[in-house]
Structure 1
Amino acid sequence: MVEKVGVERIAMPVTVRELDMERDLPAVEELERQCQVGISGAQGSAAADGAKKGKKKKKRERMSLCVEQIGDPLARVRHAPEHVMLVAECGEKMVGVIKACTKMVSRGSIRSSKNTSPSSGLPTQQQPYVKVAFLLGLRVSPYHRRLGIGTTLVRAAEEWSRAHGAAHATMATTVSNKASLALFAGRFGYAPFRRPVLLGRPVHARRLPLKRHHRVFQLQPALAAAAYARLLPPQDTEFLPADMPALLAHKLTLGTFVAIEGSDHHTATTGAATTDAEQPSFAVLSVWDSTRSLSMRVGGAPALLRHSLAAVRALDRAAPWMRVPSVPDIFRPFGAYLLYGVRMSGPAGPALLRTLCRHAHNVARKNPACAVVAADLAPGDPAAAAVPSWRRFSCDEDVWCIKNLSDGNADPSDDDDWAAPAPPGSVLFVDPREF
């Protein structure tokens, strides 16, 4: 597809086509290097900043967590049967990319539609699952911004999503990324609707002790899927993937773990039903290894902080018996383990969840490439208060935006407002495959 955008500003048309892995991989990797995405959501390029003239003073660099995709450029969408990566070219130069995929996810609380059933005259109800498109990884070369290239890529991704039957399209950005919000919310009519928080903490060199009366067990994928079916019913959970069993059995899911107090071993391992009065306390979560596809790096740190942390690491190596809580070199690229399906129950639930997070930390210690353990949760989720985190490795600026793609593909009765606040008790599921 070829479309002319901003003809008065671009001398040649912008061509949008699908990715050719062998031909385009070097150019895509270079574009990713140019477009660093920080925890604030801002995209930038050191080369582009350096090319700007007329500035007498260099702007002081702020400390931020930079995120970069590594390896397979389709890693965030390849798991979906329907996925695409579109590239934009100006002449023979690649100037932008965007990824998209579609999948069936839970709609959350089933709301009554405005339409009525012909037989009963009562309002019809929506199906618990709906096909949603996810637009990911929009990148535009720092040298070719404000020329309509992002608009062209988003339009092409939406057309692809409609052609594959998506009823809605979603994207994620941050509140500080004004350019992204102006494009999606302003030009394309996406509505901000959910604000998950990323809670992260560094992996210490030392193993974290677990409470003696807490017991941690690993569930097999089939048993984990059965447990989540009860803990995350689609009518109460937003964005739960219909292929949850496949996610739990994926090679990058390192395991699903449950923590209970010592006397509850039988219930946790057999799934035996209990009455409300007998319901034990427990916590459960799954661990996803993103070190193969995601690279992070803390940039803009003052020299004093860099040298201080390096000195602590050196002391820990020289005198391990002192058990100094040193952390990896976070100023070089590092990977992360992501916690998903984080749930807890009962009066001891928060303490058990903290034990599970410590267990996940100890699992991460075995991978030299992993320096951070993080979880993405809704801010109102009670589990968010129990997940240990450091402010420097956390972010509360994320915002999800959504748009109805109704053009005959969407259910005509699907006219309620998904952008409305989530109902009380609703759970937001963040799929680690799209992180």
Structure 2
Amino acid sequence: MKNIMTCMHIVLLSLSRRFVLMLEKINVRSYNGQRDKTGVEELEKRCQVGSEGKMCFFMDTLGDPICRIRNTPFHNMLVAEVDNEIVGIIQGTIKLVTLCDCLATVGYVLGLRVVPLSRRGGIATTLVRHMEQWFTDNQVHYAYMATDKHNKPSLNLFIDRLGYTIFKSPLILVQPVNPAAPVASAGRRSGVEISMLKPEKAEFLYRKYMGTTDFFPHDIDRVLNHKLSLGTWVSYRRRRGHVPFSGEFRDESDMPESWAMLSVWNGGDVYKLRAEGVTFPCFVYSRSSRLMNWAFPCLNVQEMPDFSDNFGFYFVYGLYVRGRGSGKLVRALFRFVSNVAREKGDCKAIVTEVERMEGFRFHVPHWKLLSGSEDLWCIKSLKMAGEDEDDDEEEEGTRIRSLQQLTTSVRSKRGLFVDPREV
């Protein structure tokens, strides 16, 4: 027993020395596609470790390590290397958004990865601080990030060590696309119809009704006109004796009395997903639903797609409702999107992220087996580069007050706009 303890002590000492040496030799620099692509892809594979007994979704970047940030207007990726070996990566984006009813420049931290054998050595902290420095050099007011509430190492790093504060906790809802048969549409008997909006009309409505939502992108026009944005649709209650709404209008007075809208982003053309660790309930439902459809095809039981191979997904963003009967309008829109997704062979899931305080979240179709992941959004005020000494205290005080407003209970009444370019 004494020999075992001695050996463990020696191993721990060697590991601690190794980490000290790593910190002394660590080199953080910008990502070089030609030089670093292979190393980054290998790092991503080494970091893909799922949770035991839980279904986990892994990402296939389709040979493009910066695919998640490539469609943002201003982005950067940093790599950390020791002895010319890449041991960590981090990505960041910068954009102008609405925050507490004001325009603010924010930096988003994402894609932080450190190889397992090099963790607990300060590499993650070093990468985040380098990314924050890039933010401050580009006049960013706030840095923020999102992580799963169960990711304790990430929360310890950002909250306990780096001073971030939790300010949002939205829900990720996932609806599988039925591979067996299309979902029944709203139909005329339901009194609900759906029309597609032109990008300029959708932009008008978003700026009018969601322009004060936290993290609403100032360049929403670029998002709506992007090649990955499949379109914006509005559902409304049809009234007798009224001309059907065609998606054309002069101003908001021409809109129906009750309506809902959403936009769809083709995330499967950015990267693919793959599931591992399928849970027993998922396995049972998958087999039983197929058996039911084989034995009783008239029942049209929704089947679970095969998530074991790479598959695409649609991300629904900009969900907004106005007027009465929101539940029926929201469900009609998601049925429509599901049928559109079914026509695309590799699209097997519809994903959306909603604030838990939004009442319409109860009407968003989703499976509890696949959903329930709760994001924690954390934020931090940054001191911008080039601030005058005389203005430091005033500028810092303004940011602190805005941050307090954002992170108090009052902010729970405000909505959240999730930018599809950073999903």
**TM class, shorter-chain normalised?**
0.7 to 0.9
1:414 aligns with 2:406: no
| Paired residue secondary structure (2:19) | coil
Q: 1:281: which partner in 2?
A: 258
Q: 134, 145, 159: which is aligned to 2:133?
A: 159
Check 1:265–1:357 CA distance in 2 against 1; reply closer, same or farther (3 A cut). farther
| Stretch of structure 1 that moved more, 366-375 or 309-318 | 309-318
Query: Which moves more between the two structures, 412-421 or 82-91?
Result: 412-421
1:419 shift after superposition: 2.2
Q: Which residue of 2 aligns with 1:89?
A: 81
> Number of paired residues?
388
**Bigger mean CA offset, 66-75 vs 139-148:** 66-75
Residue equivalent to 1:230: 208
Name the SS of the counterpart of 1:260 in structure 2. strand
Aligned match of 1:203: 177
Whichever structure has more helix as a proportion of its residues is 2
> What is the DSSP-based 3-state SS (H/G/I as helix, E as strand, rest coil) of the residue aligned with 1:76?
coil
In the alignment, which residue of structure 1 is the partner of 2:274?
Answer: 297
The SS at the match of 1:301 is coil
Per-residue deviation at 1:297?
A: 3.0
**Corresponding letter in the other structure for 1:207:** P
Deviation at 1:80, TM superposition (A): 2.8
1:11 pairs, out of 10, 18, 21, with 21
Distance, in Å, in 2 between the alignment partners of 1:359 and 1:350 is: 14
Q: Is residue 297–residue 330 contact of structure 1 (8 Å, CA) maintained in 2? A: yes
Alpha-carbon shift at residue 139 of structure 1 (Å) = 0.4
Cα distance in 1 for partners of 2:269, 2:28 equals: 28
| Residue 149 of structure 1: aligned partner | 123
Identity %: 34
Aligned residue for 1:48? none
Aligned counterpart, 1:118: none
String of CA shifts for 1:174-214, please: whole Å, max 9, x gaps.
22111111111111100111101111111102111122221
- Show the counterpart of 2:36: 24
Q: Is the 8 A contact 2:138 2:385 kept in 1?
A: no
1:376 pairs with 2:353? yes
Q: Is the 8 A contact 1:291 1:370 kept in 2?
A: yes
Is the alpha carbon distance of 1:425 and 1:9 closer, same or farther for their aligned partners in structure 2, counting shifts above 3 Å? closer
For residues 86-117 of structure 1, the C-alpha deviation after alignment (integer angstroms, 9 at most, x for no partner) is 01111121111000111001013x4xxxxxxx
Q: In structure 1, the residue corresponding to 2:247 is in which secondary structure?
A: helix
Shift of 1:11: 3.1
1:428 aligned to 2:416? yes
Q: CA deviation at 1:427?
A: 1.4
CA distance in 1, matches of 2:347, 2:303: 14
SS of structure 1 residue aligned to 2:167: strand
Q: Corresponding residue for 1:260?
A: 236
Q: Does 1:345 align with 2:322?
A: yes
What corresponds to 1:179 in structure 2?
Answer: 153
Q: CA deviation at 1:319?
A: 8.4
Contact 1:344–1:350 (Cα < 8 Å) also in 2: no
Residue in structure 2 matched with residue 121 of structure 1 by the alignment:
none
- C-alpha spacing 1:305/1:398, structure 2 compared with 1 (3 Å): closer
Q: Distance in 2 between matches of 1:414 and 1:265?
A: 49
What amino acid sits opposite 1:9 in the alignment?
Answer: F
**Structure 1 equivalent of residue 339 of structure 2:** 362
SS in 1 for 2:53: coil
Report the CA distance shift for 1:21/1:318 in structure 2 as closer, same or farther (over 3 A). Answer: farther
Q: Equivalents in 2 of 1:330, 1:424: separation in Å? A: 35
Q: Given the alignment, which residue of 351, 362, 370 partners 1:393?
A: 370
Query: Structure 1 residues 317, 165: CA separation in 2 closer, same or farther (over 3 Å shift)?
Result: farther
For residues 240-287 of structure 1, the C-alpha deviation after alignment (integer angstroms, 9 at most, x for no partner) is 0011011011111111000112236655623355779x9611110001
- Contact 1:203 1:373 (8 Å CA) reproduced: yes
Q: How does 1:105-124 map to 2 (within 5 A)?
A: 105-108=97-100, 110=101
Q: Higher strand fraction: Structure 1 or Structure 2?
A: 1
Change (3 A) 1:361 1:229: same
Query: Structure 1 residues 179, 414: closer, same or farther in 2, change over 3 A?
Result: same
| Distance apart, 1:8 and its partner CA | 5.9
Query: 2:5 maps to which residue?
Result: none
Q: Residue 314 and residue 18 in structure 1: after superposition, are their counterparts in 2 closer, same or farther (change >3 A)? A: farther
| Aligned amino acid, residue 62 of structure 1 | G
Unpaired runs of 5+ residues, structure 2, are 1-15, 388-394
* Post-superposition offset of 1:358: 0.6
| TM-score, normalization by structure 2 | 0.84
